[in-house]
Structure 1
Amino acid sequence: MSSSLIDDAKRRAAYKAVDEYIPPTTKVVGIGSGSTVVYVIERILQRGKEANNNVVFIPSSFQSKELIVQHGLTLGDVDAYPEIDVTIDGADEVDEHLNAIKGGGGCHLREKVIAEAAKKFIIVADHRKNSKVLGENWTRGVPIEVIPFAYTRVIMALKTLGCGNPVLRMAKAKAGPVITDNGNFVIDAHFGLIHDPDDLMRKIKMLTGVVEVGLFVRLAQIAYFGNENGSVTEKKSVLYETE
Protein backbone atom coordinates (compact mmCIF):
# COMPACT_ATOMS: atom_id res chain seq x y z
CA MET A 1 0.00 0.00 0.00
CA SER A 2 1.48 3.33 -1.06
CA SER A 3 2.16 6.12 1.40
CA SER A 4 -0.43 8.32 -0.32
CA LEU A 5 -3.13 5.68 0.12
CA ILE A 6 -2.17 5.25 3.77
CA ASP A 7 -2.35 9.02 4.29
CA ASP A 8 -5.77 9.11 2.61
CA ALA A 9 -6.98 6.31 4.91
CA LYS A 10 -5.76 8.17 7.99
CA ARG A 11 -7.41 11.38 6.78
CA ARG A 12 -10.79 9.71 6.26
CA ALA A 13 -10.74 8.17 9.74
CA ALA A 14 -9.71 11.46 11.36
CA TYR A 15 -12.32 13.49 9.48
CA LYS A 16 -15.13 11.11 10.46
CA ALA A 17 -14.15 11.25 14.15
CA VAL A 18 -14.09 15.07 14.15
CA ASP A 19 -17.38 15.34 12.25
CA GLU A 20 -19.21 12.96 14.58
CA TYR A 21 -17.67 13.69 17.98
CA ILE A 22 -16.77 17.38 18.08
CA PRO A 23 -20.19 19.07 17.83
CA PRO A 24 -20.62 22.86 18.23
CA THR A 25 -21.34 22.43 21.96
CA THR A 26 -17.91 20.92 22.65
CA LYS A 27 -15.78 22.99 25.02
CA VAL A 28 -12.63 20.95 25.74
CA VAL A 29 -10.88 18.61 23.26
CA GLY A 30 -7.89 16.38 23.91
CA ILE A 31 -5.48 16.07 21.00
CA GLY A 32 -3.30 12.97 20.86
CA SER A 33 -0.03 12.41 19.02
CA GLY A 34 1.21 10.82 15.82
CA SER A 35 0.70 11.04 12.08
CA THR A 36 -3.08 10.57 12.06
CA VAL A 37 -3.61 13.43 14.52
CA VAL A 38 -2.30 15.87 11.89
CA TYR A 39 -5.51 15.17 9.97
CA VAL A 40 -7.61 15.64 13.12
CA ILE A 41 -6.24 19.18 13.39
CA GLU A 42 -6.71 19.68 9.64
CA ARG A 43 -10.41 18.84 9.91
CA ILE A 44 -10.87 20.99 13.03
CA LEU A 45 -9.43 23.97 11.15
CA GLN A 46 -11.79 23.35 8.24
CA ARG A 47 -14.71 24.01 10.59
CA GLY A 48 -13.71 27.66 10.60
CA LYS A 49 -12.44 30.07 13.23
CA GLU A 50 -15.88 30.82 14.65
CA ALA A 51 -16.56 27.15 15.41
CA ASN A 52 -13.30 26.86 17.34
CA ASN A 53 -13.34 30.19 19.18
CA ASN A 54 -14.78 28.79 22.41
CA VAL A 55 -12.96 25.45 22.34
CA VAL A 56 -9.88 24.68 24.44
CA PHE A 57 -7.44 22.07 23.11
CA ILE A 58 -5.34 19.89 25.45
CA PRO A 59 -2.17 18.38 23.89
CA SER A 60 -0.57 15.05 24.79
CA SER A 61 2.91 15.87 23.51
CA PHE A 62 5.23 18.54 22.18
CA GLN A 63 4.06 17.62 18.66
CA SER A 64 0.37 18.17 19.38
CA LYS A 65 1.11 21.32 21.39
CA GLU A 66 2.95 22.76 18.39
CA LEU A 67 0.06 21.88 16.06
CA ILE A 68 -2.39 23.65 18.35
CA VAL A 69 -0.25 26.76 18.77
CA GLN A 70 0.86 27.06 15.14
CA HIS A 71 -2.73 27.01 13.90
CA GLY A 72 -3.99 29.59 16.36
CA LEU A 73 -6.19 27.28 18.42
CA THR A 74 -6.66 27.87 22.15
CA LEU A 75 -4.11 25.89 24.17
CA GLY A 76 -4.97 24.44 27.58
CA ASP A 77 -3.66 21.79 29.97
CA VAL A 78 -5.14 19.16 32.28
CA ASP A 79 -4.33 21.21 35.38
CA ALA A 80 -6.83 23.85 34.27
CA TYR A 81 -9.16 21.40 32.47
CA PRO A 82 -9.11 18.03 34.29
CA GLU A 83 -12.34 16.98 32.56
CA ILE A 84 -12.25 16.73 28.76
CA ASP A 85 -15.31 16.35 26.54
CA VAL A 86 -13.60 14.18 23.93
CA THR A 87 -10.06 13.03 23.18
CA ILE A 88 -9.08 11.86 19.70
CA ASP A 89 -5.82 9.97 19.28
CA GLY A 90 -4.10 7.44 17.05
CA ALA A 91 -2.85 3.97 17.96
CA ASP A 92 -0.19 1.49 16.94
CA GLU A 93 -2.64 -1.42 17.12
CA VAL A 94 -6.23 -2.00 18.27
CA ASP A 95 -7.79 -5.36 19.14
CA GLU A 96 -11.38 -6.55 18.71
CA HIS A 97 -12.32 -5.14 22.15
CA LEU A 98 -10.72 -1.75 21.37
CA ASN A 99 -7.80 -2.33 23.71
CA ALA A 100 -4.79 -0.63 22.14
CA ILE A 101 -1.02 -0.50 22.02
CA LYS A 102 0.22 3.08 22.01
CA GLY A 103 3.59 4.68 22.49
CA GLY A 104 5.38 4.09 19.21
CA GLY A 105 6.19 7.79 19.42
CA GLY A 106 7.01 7.65 23.12
CA CYS A 107 4.06 9.82 24.27
CA HIS A 108 1.91 7.16 25.95
CA LEU A 109 2.10 8.57 29.49
CA ARG A 110 0.60 11.93 28.54
CA GLU A 111 -1.70 10.27 26.00
CA LYS A 112 -3.13 8.05 28.73
CA VAL A 113 -3.68 11.01 31.04
CA ILE A 114 -5.81 12.86 28.49
CA ALA A 115 -7.55 9.64 27.42
CA GLU A 116 -8.60 8.90 31.00
CA ALA A 117 -9.68 12.52 31.53
CA ALA A 118 -12.08 12.37 28.56
CA LYS A 119 -15.77 11.55 28.64
CA LYS A 120 -15.22 9.95 25.23
CA PHE A 121 -11.95 8.55 23.94
CA ILE A 122 -11.87 8.01 20.18
CA ILE A 123 -9.15 6.20 18.23
CA VAL A 124 -8.39 7.02 14.59
CA ALA A 125 -6.05 4.97 12.40
CA ASP A 126 -5.62 3.28 9.05
CA HIS A 127 -6.73 -0.33 8.54
CA ARG A 128 -3.27 -1.76 9.22
CA LYS A 129 -3.80 -1.03 12.92
CA ASN A 130 -7.04 -3.04 13.08
CA SER A 131 -6.30 -6.45 14.64
CA LYS A 132 -8.14 -9.22 16.40
CA VAL A 133 -5.47 -9.65 19.08
CA LEU A 134 -2.77 -7.21 20.18
CA GLY A 135 0.67 -8.26 18.94
CA GLU A 136 -0.78 -9.66 15.72
CA ASN A 137 0.42 -6.81 13.48
CA TRP A 138 2.42 -4.59 15.84
CA THR A 139 5.60 -6.58 16.52
CA ARG A 140 7.84 -3.83 17.92
CA GLY A 141 6.55 -4.55 21.40
CA VAL A 142 4.71 -2.79 24.19
CA PRO A 143 6.28 0.63 24.89
CA ILE A 144 7.14 1.04 28.55
CA GLU A 145 8.28 4.37 29.97
CA VAL A 146 10.80 3.92 32.79
CA ILE A 147 12.93 6.20 34.93
CA PRO A 148 16.54 6.09 33.66
CA PHE A 149 17.92 4.90 37.02
CA ALA A 150 15.86 1.69 36.89
CA TYR A 151 15.88 0.64 33.23
CA THR A 152 18.34 -2.26 33.62
CA ARG A 153 16.36 -3.77 36.48
CA VAL A 154 13.11 -3.33 34.58
CA ILE A 155 14.56 -5.10 31.53
CA MET A 156 15.53 -8.04 33.73
CA ALA A 157 12.07 -8.15 35.31
CA LEU A 158 10.32 -8.03 31.92
CA LYS A 159 12.12 -11.22 30.94
CA THR A 160 10.57 -13.00 33.93
CA LEU A 161 7.14 -11.88 32.65
CA GLY A 162 7.69 -13.61 29.32
CA CYS A 163 9.40 -11.02 27.14
CA GLY A 164 12.32 -12.70 25.41
CA ASN A 165 14.24 -9.60 24.40
CA PRO A 166 13.22 -6.24 25.92
CA VAL A 167 15.01 -3.44 24.07
CA LEU A 168 15.93 0.04 25.25
CA ARG A 169 14.72 2.33 22.47
CA MET A 170 17.66 4.20 20.93
CA ALA A 171 17.51 7.60 19.25
CA LYS A 172 18.11 7.84 15.50
CA ALA A 173 19.52 11.36 15.23
CA LYS A 174 21.64 11.35 18.38
CA ALA A 175 23.81 8.96 20.33
CA GLY A 176 22.01 7.29 23.21
CA PRO A 177 18.45 6.38 24.12
CA VAL A 178 15.20 8.13 23.24
CA ILE A 179 14.20 10.63 25.93
CA THR A 180 10.47 11.19 26.46
CA ASP A 181 8.80 14.56 27.06
CA ASN A 182 8.98 13.60 30.75
CA GLY A 183 12.74 12.96 30.74
CA ASN A 184 12.48 9.17 30.88
CA PHE A 185 13.59 6.17 28.78
CA VAL A 186 11.39 3.82 26.73
CA ILE A 187 11.71 0.05 26.65
CA ASP A 188 9.99 -1.90 23.86
CA ALA A 189 8.92 -5.33 25.11
CA HIS A 190 7.48 -7.87 22.66
CA PHE A 191 5.28 -10.52 24.31
CA GLY A 192 3.86 -12.13 21.18
CA LEU A 193 0.07 -12.28 21.01
CA ILE A 194 -1.47 -10.53 24.01
CA HIS A 195 -4.72 -12.28 24.86
CA ASP A 196 -5.12 -10.62 28.26
CA PRO A 197 -3.80 -7.04 27.97
CA ASP A 198 -5.32 -6.02 31.30
CA ASP A 199 -3.39 -8.67 33.22
CA LEU A 200 -0.13 -7.88 31.40
CA MET A 201 -0.54 -4.15 31.94
CA ARG A 202 -1.05 -4.63 35.69
CA LYS A 203 1.99 -6.89 36.03
CA ILE A 204 4.27 -4.50 34.14
CA LYS A 205 3.02 -1.44 35.97
CA MET A 206 3.80 -3.08 39.32
CA LEU A 207 7.51 -3.18 38.43
CA THR A 208 9.46 -0.58 40.36
CA GLY A 209 10.76 2.09 38.01
CA VAL A 210 7.94 1.76 35.48
CA VAL A 211 6.18 5.08 34.93
CA GLU A 212 3.55 4.01 32.38
CA VAL A 213 2.70 1.13 30.05
CA GLY A 214 1.58 1.57 26.45
CA LEU A 215 -1.40 -0.74 26.87
CA PHE A 216 -4.67 1.21 26.79
CA VAL A 217 -7.23 -1.17 28.25
CA ARG A 218 -10.99 -0.48 28.37
CA LEU A 219 -10.49 3.20 27.50
CA ALA A 220 -11.59 3.65 23.88
CA GLN A 221 -15.29 3.73 23.14
CA ILE A 222 -15.07 4.01 19.37
CA ALA A 223 -12.37 3.44 16.77
CA TYR A 224 -12.36 4.53 13.12
CA PHE A 225 -10.14 2.78 10.59
CA GLY A 226 -9.63 4.20 7.13
CA ASN A 227 -9.62 1.44 4.50
CA GLU A 228 -7.82 1.01 1.20
CA ASN A 229 -11.06 1.17 -0.79
CA GLY A 230 -12.05 4.59 0.56
CA SER A 231 -14.46 3.37 3.25
CA VAL A 232 -14.15 3.81 7.01
CA THR A 233 -14.70 0.93 9.42
CA GLU A 234 -16.29 1.92 12.74
CA LYS A 235 -15.90 -0.29 15.81
CA LYS A 236 -17.71 0.34 19.08
CA SER A 237 -16.82 -1.14 22.46
CA VAL A 238 -19.12 -2.32 25.23
CA LEU A 239 -18.26 0.96 26.97
CA TYR A 240 -20.23 2.73 24.27
CA GLU A 241 -23.10 0.26 24.22
CA THR A 242 -23.70 0.53 27.98
CA GLU A 243 -23.87 4.33 28.12
Structure 2
Amino acid sequence: MPAELSPIDKAKFVAAKRAVDFIESGMKVGLGTGSTAAWMVRCLGERVRQEGLKIVGVPTSTRTAELARQCGIHVTSLDEAKWLDITIDGADEFDQNLALIKGGGAALLQEKIVATASDQMIVIADAAKEVQQLGAFPLPIEIIPFGWQTSKALVEEMLVSMDVLARDVTLRMNGERPLVTDESNYILDLHLKRISNPRQLALVLNQIPGVVENGLFIDICDIVIIGHGDGRVTVRDINSGSETDDQILFAPTDNIFADLGE
Protein backbone atom coordinates (compact mmCIF):
# COMPACT_ATOMS: atom_id res chain seq x y z
CA MET A 1 0.00 0.00 0.00
CA PRO A 2 1.26 3.57 -0.68
CA ALA A 3 2.39 5.90 2.08
CA GLU A 4 0.21 5.82 5.17
CA LEU A 5 -2.59 8.37 5.14
CA SER A 6 -3.32 10.78 7.96
CA PRO A 7 -6.49 10.12 10.01
CA ILE A 8 -8.23 13.03 8.22
CA ASP A 9 -7.40 11.63 4.79
CA LYS A 10 -8.52 8.16 5.89
CA ALA A 11 -11.82 9.68 7.03
CA LYS A 12 -12.27 11.42 3.68
CA PHE A 13 -11.40 8.26 1.78
CA VAL A 14 -13.83 5.96 3.61
CA ALA A 15 -16.66 8.51 3.31
CA ALA A 16 -16.01 8.74 -0.43
CA LYS A 17 -15.76 4.96 -0.76
CA ARG A 18 -19.13 4.48 0.95
CA ALA A 19 -20.78 7.20 -1.11
CA VAL A 20 -20.02 5.63 -4.49
CA ASP A 21 -21.96 2.53 -3.37
CA PHE A 22 -25.09 4.61 -4.01
CA ILE A 23 -24.27 4.90 -7.72
CA GLU A 24 -25.71 2.43 -10.22
CA SER A 25 -25.12 1.91 -13.93
CA GLY A 26 -27.10 4.27 -16.11
CA MET A 27 -27.04 7.12 -13.61
CA LYS A 28 -26.17 10.73 -14.34
CA VAL A 29 -23.98 11.87 -11.46
CA GLY A 30 -22.99 15.34 -10.23
CA LEU A 31 -19.32 15.37 -9.26
CA GLY A 32 -18.35 17.77 -6.49
CA THR A 33 -15.24 19.85 -6.00
CA GLY A 34 -12.65 19.79 -3.22
CA SER A 35 -10.31 17.37 -1.47
CA THR A 36 -13.01 14.97 -0.24
CA ALA A 37 -14.84 15.03 -3.57
CA ALA A 38 -11.54 14.22 -5.30
CA TRP A 39 -11.40 10.96 -3.33
CA MET A 40 -14.95 10.24 -4.50
CA VAL A 41 -14.08 10.83 -8.16
CA ARG A 42 -11.12 8.45 -7.85
CA CYS A 43 -13.22 5.77 -6.12
CA LEU A 44 -15.89 6.16 -8.80
CA GLY A 45 -13.28 5.90 -11.53
CA GLU A 46 -12.09 2.64 -9.96
CA ARG A 47 -15.62 1.22 -10.19
CA VAL A 48 -15.83 2.32 -13.81
CA ARG A 49 -12.58 0.51 -14.64
CA GLN A 50 -13.07 -2.61 -12.54
CA GLU A 51 -16.84 -3.16 -12.81
CA GLY A 52 -17.61 -1.57 -16.16
CA LEU A 53 -19.98 0.86 -14.43
CA LYS A 54 -21.75 2.96 -17.07
CA ILE A 55 -22.35 6.49 -15.84
CA VAL A 56 -22.23 10.06 -17.02
CA GLY A 57 -20.56 12.63 -14.77
CA VAL A 58 -21.41 16.32 -14.56
CA PRO A 59 -18.49 18.13 -12.86
CA THR A 60 -18.87 21.26 -10.74
CA SER A 61 -15.53 22.81 -11.71
CA THR A 62 -12.88 22.63 -14.39
CA ARG A 63 -10.47 20.84 -12.04
CA THR A 64 -13.07 18.18 -11.21
CA ALA A 65 -13.75 17.72 -14.93
CA GLU A 66 -10.05 17.19 -15.57
CA LEU A 67 -9.71 14.67 -12.73
CA ALA A 68 -12.83 12.77 -13.85
CA ARG A 69 -11.48 12.40 -17.38
CA GLN A 70 -8.15 11.19 -15.99
CA CYS A 71 -10.07 8.55 -14.02
CA GLY A 72 -11.94 7.30 -17.07
CA ILE A 73 -15.33 8.85 -16.25
CA HIS A 74 -17.39 10.11 -19.19
CA VAL A 75 -18.04 13.81 -18.59
CA THR A 76 -20.78 16.00 -19.99
CA SER A 77 -22.38 19.36 -19.23
CA LEU A 78 -25.48 19.96 -17.15
CA ASP A 79 -27.20 21.45 -20.18
CA GLU A 80 -26.61 18.18 -22.01
CA ALA A 81 -27.59 15.96 -19.06
CA LYS A 82 -30.56 18.21 -18.10
CA TRP A 83 -31.34 16.40 -14.82
CA LEU A 84 -29.24 14.19 -12.56
CA ASP A 85 -29.95 11.14 -10.46
CA ILE A 86 -27.50 12.04 -7.71
CA THR A 87 -24.82 14.54 -6.76
CA ILE A 88 -21.98 13.70 -4.36
CA ASP A 89 -19.98 16.58 -2.93
CA GLY A 90 -18.10 17.69 0.15
CA ALA A 91 -18.94 20.48 2.59
CA ASP A 92 -17.01 22.95 4.69
CA GLU A 93 -19.58 22.67 7.50
CA PHE A 94 -22.86 20.89 8.12
CA ASP A 95 -25.33 20.97 11.02
CA GLN A 96 -27.87 18.50 12.41
CA ASN A 97 -30.45 19.63 9.84
CA LEU A 98 -27.95 19.00 7.03
CA ALA A 99 -27.72 22.68 6.23
CA LEU A 100 -24.31 23.33 4.70
CA ILE A 101 -21.64 25.92 4.14
CA LYS A 102 -19.85 25.30 0.85
CA GLY A 103 -17.52 27.30 -1.33
CA GLY A 104 -14.12 26.89 0.27
CA GLY A 105 -12.94 25.71 -3.14
CA ALA A 106 -14.57 28.69 -4.88
CA ALA A 107 -16.98 26.47 -6.85
CA LEU A 108 -20.18 27.20 -4.90
CA LEU A 109 -22.18 28.54 -7.86
CA GLN A 110 -21.75 25.48 -10.07
CA GLU A 111 -22.03 23.21 -7.02
CA LYS A 112 -25.40 24.66 -6.02
CA ILE A 113 -26.79 24.58 -9.56
CA VAL A 114 -25.75 20.94 -10.02
CA ALA A 115 -26.99 19.86 -6.58
CA THR A 116 -30.42 21.42 -7.06
CA ALA A 117 -30.71 19.75 -10.47
CA SER A 118 -30.42 16.32 -8.81
CA ASP A 119 -32.94 13.90 -7.36
CA GLN A 120 -30.62 13.40 -4.39
CA MET A 121 -27.59 15.11 -2.89
CA ILE A 122 -25.10 13.19 -0.76
CA VAL A 123 -22.47 15.07 1.23
CA ILE A 124 -19.24 13.35 2.23
CA ALA A 125 -17.19 14.79 5.07
CA ASP A 126 -14.90 13.98 7.96
CA ALA A 127 -16.37 14.25 11.45
CA ALA A 128 -14.70 17.62 12.11
CA LYS A 129 -17.06 19.29 9.61
CA GLU A 130 -20.12 18.74 11.82
CA VAL A 131 -21.07 21.78 13.92
CA GLN A 132 -23.86 22.78 16.27
CA GLN A 133 -24.29 26.11 14.45
CA LEU A 134 -22.97 27.13 11.08
CA GLY A 135 -20.55 30.02 10.80
CA ALA A 136 -17.17 29.05 12.20
CA PHE A 137 -16.07 28.48 8.60
CA PRO A 138 -16.19 31.75 6.62
CA LEU A 139 -19.30 31.92 4.44
CA PRO A 140 -18.37 32.48 0.77
CA ILE A 141 -20.55 34.49 -1.58
CA GLU A 142 -19.92 34.86 -5.30
CA ILE A 143 -20.17 38.39 -6.69
CA ILE A 144 -19.65 39.95 -10.10
CA PRO A 145 -16.45 41.99 -10.47
CA PHE A 146 -18.25 45.15 -11.59
CA GLY A 147 -18.77 47.38 -8.57
CA TRP A 148 -17.55 44.71 -6.19
CA GLN A 149 -16.64 47.23 -3.51
CA THR A 150 -20.21 48.54 -3.57
CA SER A 151 -21.53 44.98 -3.23
CA LYS A 152 -19.15 44.42 -0.32
CA ALA A 153 -20.37 47.61 1.41
CA LEU A 154 -24.01 46.57 0.94
CA VAL A 155 -23.27 43.14 2.43
CA GLU A 156 -21.56 44.75 5.43
CA GLU A 157 -24.51 47.09 5.94
CA MET A 158 -26.99 44.22 5.75
CA LEU A 159 -25.06 42.13 8.30
CA VAL A 160 -25.67 44.77 10.98
CA SER A 161 -29.29 43.60 11.17
CA MET A 162 -28.45 39.87 11.15
CA ASP A 163 -28.00 37.68 14.23
CA VAL A 164 -24.35 36.79 13.68
CA LEU A 165 -21.39 36.89 16.05
CA ALA A 166 -18.95 38.78 13.79
CA ARG A 167 -19.20 40.83 10.59
CA ASP A 168 -15.78 40.84 8.90
CA VAL A 169 -15.98 40.65 5.08
CA THR A 170 -12.88 40.04 2.95
CA LEU A 171 -12.21 39.66 -0.76
CA ARG A 172 -10.62 36.28 -1.49
CA MET A 173 -7.25 36.69 -3.14
CA ASN A 174 -5.07 34.57 -5.37
CA GLY A 175 -1.65 35.99 -4.62
CA GLU A 176 -1.81 39.72 -5.25
CA ARG A 177 -4.94 39.56 -7.42
CA PRO A 178 -8.55 38.72 -6.60
CA LEU A 179 -9.36 35.05 -7.02
CA VAL A 180 -11.49 34.53 -10.14
CA THR A 181 -14.04 31.70 -10.26
CA ASP A 182 -14.85 29.45 -13.23
CA GLU A 183 -17.65 31.92 -14.01
CA SER A 184 -15.21 34.87 -13.96
CA ASN A 185 -16.59 36.23 -10.69
CA TYR A 186 -15.06 37.17 -7.33
CA ILE A 187 -15.56 35.61 -3.90
CA LEU A 188 -16.28 37.49 -0.69
CA ASP A 189 -15.70 35.55 2.53
CA LEU A 190 -17.99 36.48 5.41
CA HIS A 191 -16.30 35.78 8.76
CA LEU A 192 -19.40 35.50 10.92
CA LYS A 193 -18.34 32.91 13.57
CA ARG A 194 -21.99 32.02 14.23
CA ILE A 195 -25.08 32.16 12.01
CA SER A 196 -28.26 31.96 14.07
CA ASN A 197 -30.69 31.89 11.11
CA PRO A 198 -29.01 30.45 7.97
CA ARG A 199 -32.26 30.37 5.98
CA GLN A 200 -32.94 34.07 6.52
CA LEU A 201 -29.35 35.03 5.74
CA ALA A 202 -29.35 33.02 2.51
CA LEU A 203 -32.51 34.75 1.30
CA VAL A 204 -31.33 38.25 2.18
CA LEU A 205 -27.87 37.83 0.65
CA ASN A 206 -29.28 36.95 -2.74
CA GLN A 207 -31.30 40.17 -2.82
CA ILE A 208 -28.16 42.33 -2.80
CA PRO A 209 -27.21 43.71 -6.22
CA GLY A 210 -24.02 42.12 -7.48
CA VAL A 211 -24.37 38.96 -5.41
CA VAL A 212 -24.69 35.97 -7.72
CA GLU A 213 -25.06 33.20 -5.10
CA ASN A 214 -24.18 32.36 -1.53
CA GLY A 215 -22.56 29.29 0.03
CA LEU A 216 -25.46 28.37 2.30
CA PHE A 217 -27.08 25.14 1.06
CA ILE A 218 -30.47 24.88 2.77
CA ASP A 219 -32.89 21.96 2.16
CA ILE A 220 -30.64 20.58 -0.58
CA CYS A 221 -28.65 17.80 1.12
CA ASP A 222 -30.49 14.48 1.68
CA ILE A 223 -27.75 12.28 3.12
CA VAL A 224 -24.46 13.00 4.84
CA ILE A 225 -21.77 10.33 5.06
CA ILE A 226 -19.33 11.06 7.88
CA GLY A 227 -15.95 9.38 7.72
CA HIS A 228 -13.75 8.57 10.72
CA GLY A 229 -10.02 7.97 10.88
CA ASP A 230 -10.47 4.35 12.00
CA GLY A 231 -12.44 3.38 8.88
CA ARG A 232 -15.92 3.82 10.33
CA VAL A 233 -18.59 5.69 8.39
CA THR A 234 -21.87 7.11 9.67
CA VAL A 235 -24.69 7.45 7.14
CA ARG A 236 -27.32 10.00 8.19
CA ASP A 237 -30.50 10.30 6.10
CA ILE A 238 -32.49 13.48 6.79
CA ASN A 239 -35.60 12.23 4.97
CA SER A 240 -35.98 8.90 6.77
CA GLY A 241 -34.47 10.12 10.02
CA SER A 242 -32.17 7.08 10.07
CA GLU A 243 -28.53 6.83 11.06
CA THR A 244 -26.39 3.76 10.44
CA ASP A 245 -22.74 2.90 11.05
CA ASP A 246 -20.56 0.84 8.72
CA GLN A 247 -16.93 -0.20 8.63
CA ILE A 248 -14.98 0.26 5.40
CA LEU A 249 -12.06 -2.06 4.78
CA PHE A 250 -9.17 0.31 4.18
CA ALA A 251 -7.30 -1.09 1.20
CA PRO A 252 -7.04 1.68 -1.40
CA THR A 253 -5.30 0.80 -4.63
CA ASP A 254 -2.38 2.52 -6.29
CA ASN A 255 -4.78 3.88 -8.94
CA ILE A 256 -6.64 5.91 -6.35
CA PHE A 257 -3.47 7.37 -4.89
CA ALA A 258 -1.68 8.11 -8.15
CA ASP A 259 -0.96 11.76 -8.88
CA LEU A 260 -3.10 13.17 -6.12
CA GLY A 261 -3.25 16.88 -6.66
CA GLU A 262 -5.22 17.75 -3.53
TM-score above 0.5, yes or no:
yes
Deviations along 1:10-47, one digit per CA (max 9) or x if unpaired, are: 0010111111x1023x4201101000112112211222
Deviations 1:56-89 (CA, angstroms, capped at 9, x unpaired): 1100001110011112221111111121011000
TM-score, normalising length: structure 1: 0.90
TM-score under structure 2 normalisation? 0.84
Aligned length: 233
Q: CA separation in 2, counterparts of 1:119 and 1:127?
A: 25
Cα separation, 1, equivalents of 2:224 and 2:236: 5
Distance 1:156 1:237 in 2: 37
SS in 1 for 2:151: helix
Asked if 2 retains the 8 angstrom alpha-carbon contact of 1:52 and 1:73, the reply is no
Could you tell me how far apart the structure 2 residues matched to 1:11 and 1:50 are?
A: 18
Give 1:192-211 correspondences, 5 Å limit. Answer: 192-211=193-212
Report what 2:6 is aligned to: 4
Deviations along 1:98-129, whole A, 9 cap, x unmatched?
01000001000000011001101000011111
Identity of aligned residues (%): 35
Q: Taking structure 1 as reference, are residues 52 and 148 closer, same or farther at Cα in structure 2, changes over 3 Å only?
A: farther
2:136 is the alignment partner of 1:143: no
The alpha-carbon deviation at position 52 of structure 1 amounts to: 4.8
What are the equivalent positions in structure 2 for 1:1-243 lying under 5 Å apart? 4-19=6-21, 21-24=22-25, 26-49=26-49, 51-52=51-52, 54-136=54-136, 138=137, 141-162=138-159, 164-172=167-175, 175-238=176-239, 240=240
Give 5+ residue unaligned stretches, structure 2: 160-165, 242-262
Mapped partners of 1:14, 1:144: distance in 2: 26
In 1, Cα distance between the equivalents of 2:93 and 2:220?
Answer: 14
Uncovered stretches (5+) of structure 1, i.e. residues with no partner: none
Greater CA drift, 179-188 or 144-153: 144-153
- 2:133–2:195 contact (8 Å) kept in structure 1: yes
SS across alignment from 1:124: strand
CA contact (8 A) 2:224 2:236 kept: yes
Kindly report the root-mean-square deviation, in angstroms, between the aligned alpha carbons of the 2 structures. 1.9
